Chain A
Amino acid sequence: MMNGPALSVYNLTMHYGTRQGEVSAVDGVSFDLARGQSLGIVGESGCGKTSIAFSLMRLLPDNARIKDGYILINGRDIVAMDYDELLKVRWRRIAMVFQAAMNALNPVHKVGQQIIEAMDLHLGVMTTEESRERVAGLFDLVGLDPALMDRYPHEFSGGMRQRAVIAMALCCNPEIIIADEPTTALDVIVQDRILKRIRTLQIELNMAMIYISHDIAVIAEVSDRIAVMYAGRMAELADAMDVFKHPLHPYTYALLSAFPSIKGERRALMTLPGEPPDLLNPPDGCRFHPRCPYASDRCRAEQPPFEDLGNDHFVACWHPLAGTPSPSRPRQAAQGVF
Chain B
Amino acid sequence: MNATTGSLTQSHPALWRIRLRLAWKSLRSGWALYSENPVGLVGLALIAAFGLMALIHPILMATVWHPPIYDPLIGYDREIIVHPSPPTWVPNAAEEITSLSPLPPFRHILGTDPLGRDVLSQLMFSTRSEFALGIMAALVTVLIATTVGAVSAYFGGLVDAILMRIADVMFMLPFIAILIVLSSLFDFQMVHLALVYGLLAGFGGNTMVIKSQALTVKVKAYIEAARVAGGSDLHIIFTHLVPNLLPLSFLFMMVTVTNAIFSEAVLSFLGLLNIRMSWGIMIQITQAAGYLLISWKYWYLMFPAGIAISLLCSAFYLVGRAMDEVVNPRLRKR
Interface residues of A (CB under 8 A from B): 17-19, 63
Residues of B within 8 A of A19 (CB): 332-334
Residues of A within 8 A of B333 (CB): 19
The CA-CA distance from A63 to B332 in the complex, in Å, is 14
0 or 1 for each of B302-334: is its CB under 8 Å from A? (1 = yes) = 000000000000000000000000000000111
The CA-CA distance from A17 to B333 in the complex, in Å, is 11
Counting residue pairs across A and B whose Cβ atoms lie within 8 Å, the total is 6
The CA-CA distance from A301 to B162 in the complex, in Å, is 68
The CA-CA distance from A19 to B333 in the complex, in Å, is 8
The CA-CA distance from A19 to B334 in the complex, in Å, is 5
Chain B at the A interface: mostly helix, strand, loop or mixed? loop
Residue of A nearest to B36 (CB): A19
Question: What are 6 of the A-B contact pairs (CB < 8 Å)?
Answer: A17-B334, A18-B334, A19-B332, A19-B333, A19-B334, A63-B334
The CA-CA distance from A201 to B332 in the complex, in Å, is 43
The CA-CA distance from A19 to B331 in the complex, in Å, is 13
The CA-CA distance from A234 to B333 in the complex, in Å, is 31
Residue of B nearest to A20 (CB): B334
B134 to chain A, nearest CB (A): 33
Residues of B within 8 A of A17 (CB): 334
The CA-CA distance from A19 to B29 in the complex, in Å, is 13
The CA-CA distance from A17 to B334 in the complex, in Å, is 8
Counting chain B residues whose Cβ lies within 8 A of the other chain, the interface size class is: under 10
The CA-CA distance from A81 to B333 in the complex, in Å, is 28
Listed from nearest, the 5 A-B pairs whose CB atoms lie closest are: A63-B334, A18-B334, A19-B334, A17-B334, A19-B333
The CA-CA distance from A227 to B210 in the complex, in Å, is 48
The CA-CA distance from A63 to B334 in the complex, in Å, is 8
Residues of A within 8 A of B332 (CB): 19
Residues of A within 8 A of B334 (CB): 17-19, 63
The CA-CA distance from A18 to B333 in the complex, in Å, is 9
B28 to chain A, nearest CB (A): 16
Residue of A nearest to B334 (CB): A63
Residues of B within 8 A of A18 (CB): 334
A102 to chain B, nearest CB (A): 18
B330 to chain A, nearest CB (A): 13
Residues of B within 8 A of A63 (CB): 334
The CA-CA distance from A63 to B333 in the complex, in Å, is 10
The CA-CA distance from A17 to B332 in the complex, in Å, is 14
The CA-CA distance from A18 to B332 in the complex, in Å, is 11
Residue of B nearest to A18 (CB): B334
A288 to chain B, nearest CB (A): 28
Residue of A nearest to B33 (CB): A19
Q: Which of A17, A18, A19, A63 has the most CB of B within 10 A?
A: A19
B220 to chain A, nearest CB (A): 20
Q: In chain B between 236 and 289, which residues have their CB closer than 8 angstroms to a CB of chain A?
A: none
Residue of B nearest to A61 (CB): B334
The CA-CA distance from A322 to B119 in the complex, in Å, is 91
Residue of A nearest to B332 (CB): A19
B29 to chain A, nearest CB (A): 12
B174 to chain A, nearest CB (A): 38
B32 to chain A, nearest CB (A): 11
The CA-CA distance from A93 to B333 in the complex, in Å, is 34
B206 to chain A, nearest CB (A): 29
The CA-CA distance from A7 to B320 in the complex, in Å, is 51
A25 to chain B, nearest CB (A): 14
B270 to chain A, nearest CB (A): 45
B128 to chain A, nearest CB (A): 40
A17 to chain B, nearest CB (A): 7
The CA-CA distance from A80 to B17 in the complex, in Å, is 57
B186 to chain A, nearest CB (A): 54
0 or 1 for each of B144-183: is its CB under 8 Å from A? (1 = yes) = 0000000000000000000000000000000000000000
B97 to chain A, nearest CB (A): 66
The CA-CA distance from A19 to B332 in the complex, in Å, is 9
The CA-CA distance from A85 to B334 in the complex, in Å, is 29
0 or 1 for each of B40-69: is its CB under 8 Å from A? (1 = yes) = 000000000000000000000000000000
The CA-CA distance from A167 to B269 in the complex, in Å, is 65
Residue of A nearest to B333 (CB): A19
A51 to chain B, nearest CB (A): 15
B55 to chain A, nearest CB (A): 37
B281 to chain A, nearest CB (A): 48
A122 to chain B, nearest CB (A): 29
A18 to chain B, nearest CB (A): 6
